[in-house]
Amino acid sequence: MMEEDTVEQAGFEQAVPEIPKESGLSLKGLIEVFFKPTAFFQRLKDDPKVLVPYLVLGVVVAAFFLLSSDLIAKVSVQSQSFQDRMQGQPVTPQILTFMKYNIMIGGTIAYLIAPLLIAGLAYFWGSFVMAGKARFKQVLSVSLYSELIWGVGMLLAVPFMIMKGSAMFSFSLAILAAQSGPESLLYVALSKVNLFLIWEIIVAGIGFSIFYSVPRNKGYWISVLSVGLLSAVQIIWTAISKMIF
């Protein structure tokens, strides 16, 4: 009798169909992460996506630097630190061209590394500190889709930068400190009070709470301690650089 029950149970387990994967979820998420993050992350949890959001993020970031590198280079050559390095030498077109390509390539690479750093921090806080259970691919997927919000915010700033003729435009309080320059501690600190950064932190918190199956407030903490921590590190590094140099 026990053998029959065991056979029937085994047959039942084999007969249970796998949950079908939703077609086009990776592409749908590019839109839904902005407007329906909870519903999207609930479906993404069992089928995390990495390739598509990474490629789209790369295109968005590359487009931003392609369109704004001239303006960023002009602001950079006017900074005091750059003038000190030049020691009174004129800024030639060749130097500007080199800076432009350096900004385009270096900036794009830096922003594509950011989701990995955010995912690593989130995985540490969620898996080890809060003892949650999630795969790194799942956490990286949340990080990538959330970073798209920041990337789109950067891209939306480009038309305003072009109209203004300066890279000193931001959807943040940094616009109040534009006169102090992009390397000033005040500007860097205020730039983190950014509409799209706050939006990203909230959305990432929703995703982390769903993937780790923790209350929403803990998801927000994971987001702040990962997305927000990178911003805090930049502010601290700027402050240290000012004191040393």
Is 212 within 8 Å of 133 (Cβ atoms)?
yes
177 CA to centre of own chain: 24
Is 25 within 8 Å of 47 (Cβ atoms)?
yes
Is 27 within 8 Å of 120 (Cβ atoms)?
no
What ranges do the domains of the chain cover?
A: 48-244
Q: What is the mean pLDDT of residues 152-160?
A: 94
What local confidence, expressed as pLDDT, does residue 190 receive? 86
Residue 221 has pLDDT above 80, yes or no: yes
Highest mean pLDDT among 18-27, 200-209, 235-244: 200-209
What local confidence, expressed as pLDDT, does residue 83 receive? 63
Q: What is the mean pLDDT of residues 225-241?
A: 83
Which of these, 218, 221, 216, lies nearest to 42 by C-alpha position? 216
Q: Which helix (H) or strand (E) holds 78?
A: none
For residues 245 and 231, what is the distance between their CA atoms, to the nearest angstrom?
21
Tokens of 165: 């003729």
pLDDT per residue as tens digits for the range 84-105: 666 667 767 787 888 888 889 9
pTM across the whole model: 0.85
Share of the chain above pLDDT 90, in %: 54
Looking at beta carbons, which pairs linking 157-165 to residues 24 or more positions away fall under 8 Å?
A: 158/64, 158/67, 158/68, 161/68, 161/71, 162/67, 162/71, 165/71
CA distances from 56 to 51, 105, 153 (A): 9, 16, 14
What local confidence, expressed as pLDDT, does residue 81 receive? 65
User: Which one has a higher pLDDT value, 61 or 80?
Assistant: 61
CA distances from 237 to 33, 52, 106, 110 (A): 31, 32, 18, 16
pLDDT per residue as tens digits for the range 170-202: 898 888 877 777 777 888 888 888 999 999 999
